Structure 1
């Protein structure tokens, strides 16, 4: 019997994407997590501002925290505006947190955010990956294979 495919998350509006993550890491497992945000952070994200390019997640104090993600201050936020690079708590089930903690502690894996998006209900979510870092020679192999696939496509197109 074949293994059931994991459910894909319904993404209606993608706010920020970490495109470099799949190049730098082998993605083992993907989780969907909610983010605990303040009002001005949500408004800034709805305008499409925000970056997770250099961010990561860490497990501490019985929770998972998104560190170094940038949500710029909201333009109409007055004195109640938020800090742009503050750590944000990720909302996950206890079982998922334990699984992540075990993988990070024992297997030396990393928690990498892949994208921030709004789901169909309008909630801000983070696609979080449990990943293992690639070595330099692995990255070169991926580039070599991608270039060869591109060249194959050109050859097939030219010959018909």
Structure 2
């Protein structure tokens, strides 16, 4: 049987376009270095991952383009919504990702932000290759066929 996932009381923020635009090759869980108001906003579920990606600078991994809305109840020193956020990874993981990213066509894409059992924010990061237009069409056609087969199996 499949492992049952515990229901978290905080929302799981997903990058819905990632599976449509990219072919996912490898998944990694990374921690996020966040400010207090960013954590509060994430717990409310107000973040956007659709335009986000990750880069490696000076043996450190950063999340770029992730928009976390400012927390309305925060004080005067609220966070910048689109700042670069450091990802917490081991050096060996960063080195392995860096060697794969040097190959043409690979990129680091965030799939989801969620809170684990201990309440810390985690990012599901994927090593991915961009899909061509005909690959996207084939994937849509395959999903439609699968859906039709399930529909006909009911009757």
TM superposition score normalised by structure 1: 0.88
Equivalent of 1:108, from 98, 105, 108? Answer: 105
Deviation at 1:129, TM superposition (A): 0.2
Q: For 1:90 and 1:10, locate their aligned partners in 2 and report how far apart those are by CA, in whole Å.
A: 24
The normalised TM-score by structure 2 is: 0.91
What residue ranges of structure 1 are gaps of 5+ in the alignment?
1-6
State yes or no: 1:18 paired with 2:38: no
Aligned-residue CA RMSD in angstroms? 1.9
1:8 to 1:25, Cα distance in 2 relative to 1, 3 A? farther
- Matched residues, number: 152
Deviation at 1:20, TM superposition (A): 1.0
Q: Which residue in 2 is equivalent to 1:142?
A: 139
Contact 2:107 / 2:129 at 8 angstroms: preserved in 1? yes
Name structure 2 gaps, 5 residues minimum.
none
Residues 83 and 126 (structure 1), Cα distance of their counterparts in 2 relative to 1, 3 Å cut: same
Q: What per-residue deviation string (whole Å, max 9, x for no partner) do you get for residues 82-133 of structure 1?
A: 0000010000000110011111112431100000000000000100000111
Q: Tell me the equivalent position of 1:75.
A: 72
Larger displacement relative to structure 2 (72-81 or 117-126): 72-81
In the TM superposition, structure 1's runs of 4+ consecutive aligned residues that sit over 6 Å from their partners are 7-11
Match of 1:119 in 2: 116
SS in 2 for 1:78: coil
Looking at structure 1, the residues matched to 19 and 106 of structure 2 have their Cα atoms a distance apart, in angstroms, of 14
Pairing of 1:27-38 with structure 2 (within 5 A): 27-38=24-35
